[in-house]
Amino acid sequence: MDGTMQPYALTLEKFLQHAARWHPDAQVVTARADGTCDRIGYAALMQRSMKISAVLQGFGICAGDRIATLAWNSHAHVEAWFAIMGMGAVCHTLNPRLTGAQLAAMASLSEARILIVSADLLPLATEIIAHGTAIDHVWVIDGSRDFVADPPHESLDRLIAQSQGEVAWGDFDETAPCGLCFTSGTTGAPKGVTYTHRSSFLHTLRVLQADVMAITGADSVLAVVPMFHANAWGLPFAVPAVGAKLVLPGRAVDGASLARLIVEEEVTMAVGVPTVWLGLVEHVEATGGKLPTLKRITVGGAPIAPALMERIESRLGVKVQTSWGMTELSPSGTVAPPYEPSRAPLSGRPAIGVDLLLTDAEGRALPVQRGVEGQLRVRGAAVVERYFGQDEKATDAEGWFATGDLARIDGQGNLAITGRVKDLIKSGGEWINPAEIEAVIGALPEISLAAVIGRPDAKWGERPVLLVEMREARTISDEALLASLRGRVASWWIPDAIHRLPRMPLAATGKIDKLRLRAEYGGG
């Protein structure tokens, strides 16, 4: 008779349990608005988290029920995550940078009855409820605030203090749902992505690999990427899994606040979108400051301009790791290994557990997968199969998910995203790829951010329009901007108009909000 191995369900509470037992005093640090920090060890955090599970059970919450959170990156939010997921309920993260009406629509779909909210977001919570949802309890974290709300809000700390009884964690199948996150909706209507314990567990093991994020117990990790978007790229699971220090910035992610936090908490690794690190490097340049402990910055969520990458690496003395992912991928797809030279726009190779395929517009696999551009499809253990609330699968007959990205894969297997299918501009029957124009303009030292959108044209169908945000104290003429494109892109790709914006509109994840740009500047 063959031997057997012990059953071990791949459920997420095990990461916090491991941290509490083997790294009990390793800290989770939360920056406060006044510049001070709250600190808690993993053992104490788990105790509080289990009490929250008991509170939830006392309010009738069972496995499979959805609990909404509307909160910044804080240890109180982490506690709520593990409390919800540990008992088998589903954490539905709401994005506080969306409107009350948008969030109410999402909360109505999830049928969440309880909303856990950061104190300074109570007005938005009240607006959500006013639009009509199933929410009948509001629990406040991250401080207190006098605010008249309907239904009345309660302090979660007070409920924890009154908590009695215990709830068994992990008493459910590993394929049970654990999280719900809606896509950013920067290029279309948001869709709900349901994560499972198994998918998130495997995703965590993948991002911890030495060729990926390579987080160790000696690291102090600054998670700037929001917890309300794609599991904060898995950091609330991966960091405690190795007993590293987890540093959470709260609401303040400006350059000065992040620089202070990096120095005070001896941060070795920081993770977030490119616009965040632009603010950091501009602050350091302006003040002449230094960040001696910081070794690596992992960027994702949007492409990073090569000029910005070089600027960050040279001024901060750090290694920039490029990456690509999506909410539908949990979200990690590819990450450039930390030991290889930075090469934007390359975003690295996929690690085990995720695979890539380039296809034509009809979804047929390209006969050659290297050195050609195609539409990118993905499949793997942490890739969406079906969106929340939809009957139809989001994958094709062979299990491939169409990302909507245009991409190339080089001879070494490195992925480069070359554009979005929905962003393509059809002019005179031919396609213009805005990403190629944006890459050239974004590399200019005078430019902070650049975007290209299509505008209706009576003769050509569509024509490109360039929008730029200038770097402070830098100037460049329209003629020089367009001249930088000549010889780099086809002459008929050169934009017909240029708009200079004081601030480029950004979505909650730090991506340029092209839906808003099209609404404001693409009308002809």
Rounded CA-CA distance 315/284 in Å is 8
Q: What percent of the chain has pLDDT over 90?
A: 80
Quote the CA–CA distance of 316 and 295 in Å, as a whole number: 9
Segment 30-48 shows an average pLDDT of 96
Checking if the pLDDT of 179 tops 60, the result is: yes
Residue among 85, 69, 245 at smallest CA distance from 140: 69
Q: What is the pLDDT of residue 340?
A: 92
Contact status, residue 412 vs residue 275, Cβ threshold 8 Å: no
97 pLDDT tier (thresholds 50, 70, 90): confident
| CA pair distance 146, 108, nearest whole angstrom | 26
Taking phi over 0 as left and psi of -120 to 50 as alpha, with beta for the rest, 211 belongs to alpha
Residues with catalytic function: 183, 328, 426, 431
Task: Write down how long the chain is.
Answer: 524
- 472-483: average pLDDT: 93
Q: What is the CATH number of domain 13-319?
A: 3.40.50.12780
Place of tokens 């329009």: 465
CATH architecture of the domain 424-521 equals: 2-Layer Sandwich (3.30)
Contact 297, 321 (CB under 8 A): yes
Q: Band of the pLDDT at 185, cuts 50, 70, 90?
A: low
- What mean pLDDT is predicted for residues 288-315? 92
- Cis bond before residue 236 (omega within 30° of 0): no
List of E strands, 390-446: 401-409, 415-420, 425-427, 430-432
- CB-based burial, 457-470: b 16+ in 10 Å, e otherwise: eeeeebbbbbbbbb
Instruction: Please say if the pLDDT value at position 407 is more than 70.
Output: yes
pLDDT reading at 187 higher than 60? no
In the predicted structure, residue 290 carries a pLDDT above the cut 80: yes
**Domain ranges for the chain:** 13-319, 343-421, 424-521
- What is the mean predicted confidence (pLDDT) over 350-369? 96
- Gap between the Cα atoms of 155 and 157, Å rounded: 5
Dump pLDDT digits (tens) for 60-79: 999 999 999 999 999 999 99
Predicted confidence at residue 524, as pLDDT, reads 56
Supply the mean pLDDT for the chain: 93
Supply the pLDDT for residue 509: 66
Cβ neighbours of 371 (radius 10 Å): 9
On the question of pLDDT at 507 being above 70, the answer is yes
State the pairing for strand pair 220-223/269-272: parallel
Pick the CATH number of 343-421 from 2.30.38.10, 2.60.120.200, 3.20.20.100, 3.40.50.2300: 2.30.38.10
User: Considering the chain, what percentage of its residues have pLDDT values greater than 70?
Assistant: 97
Predicted local confidence at residue 195, as pLDDT: 98
Choice between 312 and 152, residue whose per-residue pLDDT is larger: 312
Residue 245, both tokens: 């220090």
494 pLDDT above the threshold of 90: yes
User: What integer pLDDT is reported at residue 472 of this predicted model?
Assistant: 85
Block residue for tokens 């001896």: 266
